[in-house]
Structures are given as C-alpha cells and as structure tokens.
Amino acid sequence: MKIKDVTIRQLQMRLKTPFKTSFGTLSTKNFLLLEAKAEDGTVGWGESVAFDTPWYTEETMRTTWHMLEDFLIPLILNKELSHPDEVTDIFSPIRKNNMAKSALEGAVWDIYAQQTNQSLAAAIGGTKDKIEVGISIGIQKSVEDLVALVDGYVKEGYKRIKVKIKPGWDVHVLRTLRENFPDTHIMADANSAYSLEDIDHLKQLDAFDLMMIEQPLASDDIIDHAKLQKEIKTPICLDESILSLEDARKAIELGSTKVINLKIGRVGGITEAKKIHDHCAAKGIPVWCGGMLESGIGRAHNIALTALPNFILPGDTAGSSRYWEKDIIFPEVVAKNGYIDVPQTAGIGYEVDMDAVEAFTAAKKEYK
C-alpha cells in the first residue's frame, strides 16, 4: 500500500453536556480528523484525540497539526507499506507526539483492514463480537445531581461507573455513591489531582470497595504511585503515566499499577497499544480502553481495539448519544445493556457521514 493523499480537517463539535475534570471544563471539542487515500483509492480515517489545551498531555490540536504537516505526513506519503506495524518504525525518528502519530497510523490501519477485506477488529487480532462498556462521569454541581445521573446510566445498563474526583470532591461523593449503589462497579479518576502528602486522605477510599483509582498522582510519575499502592488497598490504574510499552513494563515491575487504562492516542497508535495489551496479558495485568470524548471515528478505533482478549474490564467507550446530538458516523455507536457490538464489515465498520463532517469542519488542508 502507498498513501498518496492526506486531508487534515479541524472539526468543532459541541458536547451535549460540558465535561468537568480536576483540570477544568470542556464544552466544545476541537480536534483533527484525518482522511488518507491509498493509491488504489481506498480511504482510511483517523482521529487525533488532542484537545485545545495541553492539560491531559502536552499535545494540543495545533501541535498535532504541526507534527502531521511538517514531519509525519511527509514521512508516510508515497512510501510502500506492507503492514501498518511499519508506521511505528517509520515514525521512530520523531520523539513522542503520540496523538499526532496515532491519528495517521489509525487511518493506515483502516486502509489495511479494507484492503484485506476484514474488520479493523479482526485485522488487529480482536476475538470478541461485542464489548462490555462503562461510562465516565465528570464532576457535577452537587452530589444529588451525580446520584441522579449515575442512576440513569445504571438503568441504561452500563457495566461500571467511573467518576472524576479531586480534593473537595472525593470521599463524601464516593461514600454517597456506594450507599446509593451497593452493587454497582464504581471507580474514580483523579487525573493527577493528588500527591503523596494525601496518602492518609486517599486511604479513606478503601472503605468504598472501588474497582480501582485511576491516576491519583502526577502524570509523569511511576515511583510515588508504587509507594502509594503499598499503602492503599484500592488497586491503582495508570492512565497519563503510560505512553509506551516501556512505560508499562517499568510501572508493572515497580508495582505502580495493577490495571492499565489503554488509550490509542496516548501510546502513539494501535501497534503500540497491542504491544502493551500483550505484555499486560503475559503479566496478568487487566487492561481496559479509555476514552478522550471521541467522535465516532476515534470511537470506532477504540471498539476495534477492545475486541482484543485482555480487555477484561469495561472501558469508557460509551454510545455516541452520551456525547453528541449528532455523531459523524452512520450508524451511530449504540451501547445496549452495557454492550457495544463490534462491527464485522471491512475497515472501521461505520460509514463516515460526510455531510456531518462538512458541517462540523472549521478548517481543512490537503497534502499530496
């Protein structure tokens, strides 16, 4: 396969409801979509999960555009590729910038799956025909609001509830949730809102039988997480700290993480995500698929990845309607009783709704 043409689009999509984390509130998503065309005319799609501001990792929508335009697209255009795994090697002279890399790598995987006439899930090595999913809920105005929201999602059938926490919105929130939902799988995500000085405070969370606590400490730390894990019973799950297979290996070896949240964008693509998945499987570490409030295209990639066997725990890949009035794929992603069907048709398995894409496009540029 040879990529002959890549179009970058900046899309702007309003979330149905703003999403609040320990860092701030996101109401509108500005992100990049990539449309890559192979020499035989096959079109593949990828999504960059970077946000407007560098709060989650250092990448932003504009840094991903810069990296793609000035470095990554020129490395790929007109190069003969026999398998998408080669993209990781081609990108290896470029350090990090994982979200930019994975947007283009994802489009190459979509093309490869179509050219070999298999679903993206099958091309990756996925074995499931449906995946179990949970939902991630931002910080709310009041605990009562949160309880009402969780109640709705539990009734919809989501398999686990993740709530964002931060100092001042943690112990009382999780206690109330546990009291109201004694049998629900509940977990908390801090997005690095704590430090080791909070050990005694975080120990209180052990009383609530949480599935795990996600990324309590610094995004670039694996030492303090190992110290914290020795002091608390609640399993630690790393998100921001794991950018590569090497990071995963070291964190597991140190005892910094008992579960890993895998995000394709954060680790630089599907090939690296697969490697981390396989390593975790060998080490008995369960993984689940995280989310970045993706449009249907990024969501389709997440669904395909989650079809791999060591995605044992429900992830954050909720249905399209949890995020958008209108998604950009057809059909939209539907979660029914906490399950999403893995599409069986070639490629990402959803049609791209070009009218919707055009309607949300704020800028666009073609490279060939």
The catalytic site residues sit at 164, 263
Alpha carbons 357 and 265: distance in angstroms, whole number: 21
**Binding pattern to Mg ion, positions 105-144, x when CB under 5 A?**
----------------------------------------
> According to the binding rule CB under 6 A, does residue 265 interact with ligand OSB?
no
Q: Which of 239, 272, 316, 327 binds Mg ion (CB under 5 A)?
A: 239
Segment interacting with ligand OSB (CB under 6 A) among 83-91, 147-155, 284-292, 340-348: 284-292
- Is the distance from CB of 192 to CB of 218 less than 8 angstroms? yes
- Examine residue 191 and tell whether it contacts ligand OSB (CB under 6 A): yes
Encode 96-123: b = buried (16+ Cβ within 10 Å), e = exposed.
ebbbbbbbbbbbbbbbbbbbeebbbbbb
291 is a contact residue toward ligand OSB (CB under 6 A)? yes
3-state secondary structure of 246: helix
User: In the complex, what is the shortest distance from the CB of residue 317 to ligand OSB, in angstroms, rounded to a whole number?
Assistant: 7
Which position among 35, 170, 221, 316 is part of the footprint of ligand OSB (CB under 6 A)? 316
Map residues 35-54 to x or -, x wherever contact with Mg ion holds by CB under 5 A.
--------------------
Q: Which of 189, 247, 327, 353 binds Mg ion (CB under 5 A)?
A: 189
| Cβ atoms within 10 Å, residue 27 | 10
Q: Which of 110, 221, 239, 247 binds ligand OSB (CB under 6 A)?
A: 239
Strand partners, 364: 9
**Distance between CA atoms of residues 360 and 367, nearest Å:** 20
Measured from each CB, the residue nearest to Mg ion is 239
- In whole angstroms, what is the distance from residue 133 CA to residue 295 CA? 16
| Angstrom distance (rounded) from CA 188 to CA 234 | 10
Closest distance between ligand OSB and the C-beta of residue 290, in Å?
5
Residue type for position 26 = L
Binding site for ligand OSB (CB under 6 A): 56, 136, 189, 191, 239, 290-293, 316, 318
